[in-house]
Amino acid sequence: MEKEQFLILIDKYISDKATDTEKLLVETYYARLRGEHESADIKNEKIIGETLFNQITAQIKADNDTAITVKPAKRVSLWWYSAAAILLVIFSIGVLLYKANTSTEPKNVDYAALIQPGKNKAVLTLADGKKVILDNVSSGAIAEQNGIQIKKKENGTLEYVQVEGTSSNNRVQNIFNTIETPRGGQYKIILDDGTIVWLNAASSLRYPLHFNGAERKVELTGEGYFEVAHLKAKPFIVVTNKQEVEVLGTHFNINAYTDEEDVKTTLLEGSVKVKTLRDRNQSKYLKPGEQSVLNNNSWQVKQVDAAAQVDWKNGRFIFKDEELKSVMRKLARWYDIEVDYNQSLENLSFSGKISRSKTLKDVLRILTRTNDVTFKVKERRVTVMP
């Protein structure tokens, strides 16, 4: 970097106009100059200045001796000019950093503003056990297994397509892949039969490379929205920890998080049959706009706003008289936070629409407009208070 550019960068740093990258560059250079000479004996600005002066003059002289070939007299002049120019700004940085590091006052960090929303993140586990971090790989072919090519599309979608020239008869049944989204992640996948699945945060889907046999069966934990390709001879079955959902071709959402009491299946289009695993002889058929709510004690079907149930897929939170703790569980998954309550806050509910692209601070600000709760955020832990 040219010295003139460096001086401009320092000026931006001192006036608090530097970007995070520029701040890191300045502080890295400063740390290099201080090096191993820094010690606990630096207790005042005068000593900081003297220490930095000795280091910077030695550094600049060494740089000029190796990088510039001039007459000795001119070299000394250039050296002292550079030392005098940069000493002032480096001294200023030293004082700023020294005061920041030795201040007894706690730093007021706005943690909520730093916590960003989730994004497309997932880990794909192949049949051989190999794991692929999907958000780290470029678009294009990722792997090929038994005549099926796995591709990451430019929009981030994972797609399974048959390789030209291969026969489905050569494919091996019971070869499975698993895709898992972490807290703060979501992902979209297109299965071999053309079925599209959106996975919400903290969810997983286990599925075969190719749907052989008389049915198409997958296993879901967490939440997923399905647009099932219609194949009359092959029903599509989604298995969760408490139920099975069977369809031919339809659009529906399943919420089956283990930290939720209820398993909710919501139908948007077509028809589905829901069966409990505890009694496979029991089943219920849903019509569009209906939701099956299953827990350990009861099972009911009710009319709901189906669009609101798939709000997450469309980039929004939609709350309709939703309990506080349910709201906070959704935020915890999407923003990868932990939530505490400093006392019981029962019978509180929220209604409204919030974009999932907002920072945590923006979302909490909207929730506090009810005047019923406030929030304290430290690092990634949120405390809910009345």
pLDDT band, residue 212 (cuts 50/70/90): confident
pTM: 0.72
Boundary-marking domain end, from 47, 75, 103: 103
- Cβ atoms of 51 and 41 within 8 Å: the answer is no
Question: Is position 110 within any domain?
Answer: no
Residues with Cβ within 8 Å of 237's Cβ and at least 6 positions away in sequence, in order, are: 215, 216, 217, 218, 244, 245, 246, 247
Report pLDDT digits (tens) over 72-106.
333 334 444 444 445 555 555 555 555 555 554 45
- Predicted confidence at residue 374, as pLDDT, reads 92
pLDDT band, residue 45 (cuts 50/70/90): very low
Type of residue numbered 154: E
- Stretch 280-285: mean pLDDT: 88
> For residue 378, what are the β-bridge partners?
381
Question: Is position 85 within any domain?
Answer: yes
Boundary-marking domain end, from 277, 293, 311: 311
Residues 181 and 257 in one domain: no
**Domain containing 332 — which CATH number?**
3.55.50.30
Q: Which of 301, 305, 384, 382 is nearest to 337 (CA)?
A: 382
Question: Is position 41 within any domain?
Answer: yes
Residues 302 and 343 in one domain: no
Residues 176 and 259 in one domain: no
pLDDT band, residue 71 (cuts 50/70/90): very low
For the stretch 106-128, what's the b/e string if a residue is b when 16 or more beta carbons lie within 10 angstroms of its beta carbon? eeeeebbeebebbeebbbbbbbe
pLDDT band, residue 26 (cuts 50/70/90): low
- Stretch 269-277: mean pLDDT: 94
Residues 299 and 352 in one domain: no
Residues 78 and 14 in one domain: yes
Residues 284 and 339 in one domain: no
Residue 376 has pLDDT above 80, yes or no: yes
Residues 243 and 189 in one domain: no
pLDDT band, residue 168 (cuts 50/70/90): low
pLDDT band, residue 42 (cuts 50/70/90): very low
User: Which residue stretches of the chain are H helix?
Assistant: 3-14, 20-34, 45-67, 72-102, 111-114, 306-309, 324-335, 360-368
Does 207 or 7 have the greater pLDDT score? Answer: 207
Q: Report the number of distinct structural domains present in the chain.
A: 4
**Domain containing 254 — which CATH number?**
2.60.120.1440
Residues 27 and 87 in one domain: yes
> For residue 355, what are the β-bridge partners?
316
Residues 322 and 380 in one domain: yes
Residue 143 has pLDDT above 70, yes or no: yes
- Predicted confidence at residue 97, as pLDDT, reads 55
Rounded CA separation 256/7 (Å) = 57
Biggest alpha carbon–alpha carbon distance for the chain = 98
Residue 49 has pLDDT above 70, yes or no: no
Residues 254 and 324 in one domain: no
| Least confident range of 44-58, 185-199, 307-321, 353-367 | 44-58
Residues 7 and 92 in one domain: yes
- Predicted confidence at residue 18, as pLDDT, reads 74
Pull the structure tokens for residue 79. Answer: 């050296």
- Stretch 351-371: mean pLDDT: 91
Question: Is position 55 within any domain?
Answer: yes
Q: What's the mean per-residue pLDDT of the chain? A: 81
Does 235 or 98 have the greater pLDDT score? Answer: 235
Type of residue numbered 369: R
Question: Is position 99 within any domain?
Answer: yes
Residues 11 and 89 in one domain: yes
Q: Which of 143, 147, 146 is nearest to 179 (CA)?
A: 143
Does 275 or 34 have the greater pLDDT score? Answer: 275
Three-state SS sequence of 178-243: EEEECCCEEEEEECCCCCEEEECCCEEEEEECCCCCCCEEEEEEEEEEEECCCCCCCCEEEECCCE
**Residue 38: DSSP 8-state:** -
Boundary-marking domain end, from 311, 333, 363: 311
- Predicted confidence at residue 165, as pLDDT, reads 66
pLDDT band, residue 201 (cuts 50/70/90): very high
Q: Which domain range does residue 41 map to?
A: 3-103
Does 73 or 207 have the greater pLDDT score? Answer: 207
Question: Is position 331 within any domain?
Answer: yes
Question: Is position 109 within any domain?
Answer: no
Rounded CA separation 226/196 (Å) = 6
Task: Give percent of the chain above pLDDT 70.
Answer: 71
- Predicted confidence at residue 12, as pLDDT, reads 72
Question: Is position 217 within any domain?
Answer: no
Task: Give percent of the chain above pLDDT 90.
Answer: 55
